[in-house]
A and B are shown apart, each in its own frame.
Chain A
Amino acid sequence: MENTPVIEFDNVSYTYNRKTPFETRALQNISFQILKGEIVAVCGSTGSGKTTLIKMINRLLVNTSGTIKVSGQVFDSKLNIKELRKKVGMIFQYPDHQIFESSVKKELIYAGLKFGMHTKHALKKAKEACDNYGFDFNKYKNRNPFELSGGEKRKVAICSILAYEPEILIFDEPTAGLDNKGLIALKELILKLNGQGKTIILISHDADFIDEISHKIIVLKKAVTVYNGKTESFMKNYSKFEMEELGLEKPFRWIVEEKRKLQLSQRENL
């Protein structure tokens, strides 16, 4: 991990449907920094503003106030927006929202071609991405992605983002609907990508998953940040009930730890 900030939020706010009867403030004066090579989890209960926050990183939503810097640069014109989206890859929760090509191969190289890669180079990168994730490129390349199972579609969606090698990766609820095997593979992939120097941001409600892989955690509640710091100290210092208030379950290992401490103190008292 380096000490260079790759993402900087300074007093950022966002309001949906401004000046309409549906006006909703989704984020209010959010400030934080994410360093290069960090794995950061964004947590909070439903409607706390997590998805809004990650969408602003690659300018799918434009902040109503404040400044957002990615790699030290403010991307606020139409000209450099493609450059920003090449830097920040976003993996959405539902692969069905992005799959449209007639074959897996075409689907995997779509983004690469859009970002100016040559077909051969895009194909090479797609194969590498599949190898990274343990997805058999040769087996699936000519298959229609609509005929794949849910898990396979998710793999195609992830590989199609990895194939253009973004520096920052954002995962929106990556663990939703995954079985244990899928969860282990995903964990391995994230750690591998992080080992290759990628900065990773993930939204998740799975506290065990977050506890195991993230360095830092940003917790949102009703559009404001309630915690921004090391994952370990959050898991250690927040009680089970406080975490439940924030839409998280206390990780198993910390519950065991709490019980052990309680037993020790009881013994000492005796």
Chain B
Amino acid sequence: MNGGLLIGQYVPGNTFIYKINPLNKLIFCIVIMTLILLTKDLNTILILGAGLITLFFIFKLPFKAILKGMKSIIFFLIITFIMHIFFTQEGVILFEYSFLKITSLGLINASTIFIRLFLLILLNSLLTLTTLPVDIAWGFEKILYPAKIFRFPVEEFALMLSLALRFIPVLFNEMNKIMEAQKSRGADFESGNFIKRIMSYPPLLIPLFVNSFYRAEEIAVAMEARCYRGGGKRTHYNKLGFSLNDIFFFFMYLSILILYIIFIKNFQN
């Protein structure tokens, strides 16, 4: 893990955020995500970002380790940044070489997109770091409950989600083991040009897929052996309730939302 945390990984803890009901946390994430996606102005996004990063420190979450874990994703963010710089041609030209042009608007747009995506990943980390995959699935089940009217299979969806979330670290672990087995047989995943690196991946991906299919089959058999049937009304071993902390948390993000609307209105005026 190179000293970083995997995205989607749960870190056990006992701070305020851990005591919040997963449903409440999910609604908070949806609200903040909507604000991040709706905001087009760079300054407002920066304010939202500063607020989100402050929350990491207030809740005593390992911010540095999360940033280290984002190394692999930063590569895709940089590609998006570069594409937006060169595809936006409006605004004052800051740099020009042959057909390549960097404009002021292009730079602002690229920065906005970069920060927006970065914040979305950070927001996702805030949820997954502090909530067990099973609880996230429970939260989704509750959120999607009204969709039952349209015969949407909510319970099956929640089960699928919880299985998928549960197996992310297992698959990463498995990938590490396969990588070690192939590295010790002379495979090199780190050096060479882009094509050489892509071509070095089948020894990694084939065992990973084969083992995943085996595992999926084993899970299906184990579930059937315990008489699992889809579509049934299920009860939960741990019942998650709402506490005073939840009310406080709810009013906190409600006030963020109100402040945001007031801020945007004034800013537009």
Contact = CB atoms under 8 A, between A and B. Distances in A.
Interface stretch (B98-106, B148-156, B157-165, B199-207): B199-207
A86 B182 CA distance: 12
Nearest to B175: A97
Contact of B180 (A60, A110, A111, A161): A60
| Closest A-B pairs by Cβ, 9 of them | A114-B186, A111-B185, A100-B206, A98-B181, A90-B184, A97-B181, A20-B65, A60-B180, A100-B203
A161 B184 CA distance: 9
B178 interface: yes
Interface residues of A, number: 31
B65 A96 contact: no
Interface centre among B11, B174, B186 (most CB of A within 10 A): B186
A20 B1 contact: yes
A186 B188 CA distance: 30
Interface residues of B, number: 31
Contact of A17 (B3, B177, B183): B3
27 contacts: A18-B3, A19-B3, A19-B65, A20-B3, A20-B5, A21-B5, A21-B11, A21-B65, A60-B180, A82-B186, A85-B185, A90-B184, A92-B184, A97-B181, A98-B178, A98-B207, A99-B207, A100-B182, A100-B202, A100-B206, A100-B207, A110-B185, A110-B203, A111-B186, A114-B185, A114-B187, A164-B185
Interface of B: 1, 3-5, 11-13, 62, 64-65, 174, 177-178, 180-188, 190-191, 202-203, 206-207, 210-211, 214
Contacts of B181: 90, 92, 97-98
Contact of B184 (A78, A85, A146): A85
B177 A97 contact: yes
Contacts of A82: 186, 188
Interface in A89-143: 89-90, 92, 94, 96-100, 110-111, 114-115
A167 to B, nearest CB: 14
Contact of B185 (A78, A96, A98): A98
A175 interface: no
A78 B180 CA distance: 15
A97 B178 contact: yes
A78 B192 CA distance: 12
Interface of A: 17-22, 55, 58, 60, 78, 82, 85-86, 88-90, 92, 94, 96-100, 110-111, 114-115, 146, 160-161, 164
A152 B186 CA distance: 23
Contacts of B11: 21-22
Interface centre among B11, B185, B186, B191 (most CB of A within 10 A): B185
A96 B177 CA distance: 10
Given A60-B183, A98-B203, 6 more contacts: A17-B1, A85-B183, A96-B207, A97-B174, A114-B188, A164-B186
A60 B186 contact: no
A14 B62 CA distance: 22
A135 to B, nearest CB: 17
A98 B62 CA distance: 35
A100 B214 CA distance: 14
A222 B93 CA distance: 63
Given A97-B177, A97-B207, A146-B210, A89 B184 contact: yes
Nearest to B184: A90
Nearest to A17: B1
Contacts of A89: 184
Contacts of A98: 178, 181-182, 185, 203, 207
Contacts of B5: 20-22
Nearest to B61: A21
